[in-house]
Amino acid sequence: MSEAQKRLYKTLLKNIDDGEEEDDELAKLSSQKMTPAEIYERRLRIERKNEEMLRAKAERNLARKQEKEEFKKKIREEKTRKREMEQRKKIKEEADKRIMEVELKTHQFFRLNAYGKPQNTGVVYFGDCLRDGDAWIPHGEGEYRVSGEVLYEGE
């Protein structure tokens, strides 16, 4: 016999065995003195019960999948929120850095009043300078302003 014939023979034997199982089941039911309608009703009940079990299992699987999706969504939202916070922090740090640079480059001229306290003269220098402690000397690009008007600009 060829392989195909052997497989066909095995499937035929299996089908015969299945038929015998159905006959055995029918014999059991008939021995319980059940009418064909009762047998049919019992089979329907069993099928409905199996369907309900499958439906309940599918609902549990769906609920589990939804929980996983919600968890993943929460993680994605948290990552985007962290990214946005880092970007905002970086922008703020850059702005603070620019403000500090402006403050470092801005120097106001003053005179001491009769009590030894500084009094602004309205002259402001903005630009590069050489520092030594609190003292500074204009050096490089910059501009002098007197009461908001540019008096000198350049090097």
pLDDT single digits (tens) 46-68? 888 888 998 899 999 999 999 99
Grade residue 114 by pLDDT with cuts at 50, 70 and 90. Answer: confident
**Is residue 76 scored above 90 in pLDDT?**
yes
Which helix (H) or strand (E) segment holds residue 131: the answer is: strand 118-132
* CA distance readout (Å), 120 to 73, 102, 112, 147: 58, 18, 9, 11
Tens of pLDDT along 4-56? 878 777 777 777 666 555 556 666 666 667 777 777 888 888 888 888 998 89
Strand ranges inside 20-90, DSSP E = none
The dihedral over CA atoms of 42, 45, 46, 50, expressed in degrees to the nearest 10, equals 170
Give the N- to C-terminal CA distance of the chain in Å, as an integer.
Answer: 106
Cα 125 from Cα 146, distance rounded (Å): 9
- Please tell me the predicted confidence (pLDDT) of residue 77: 97
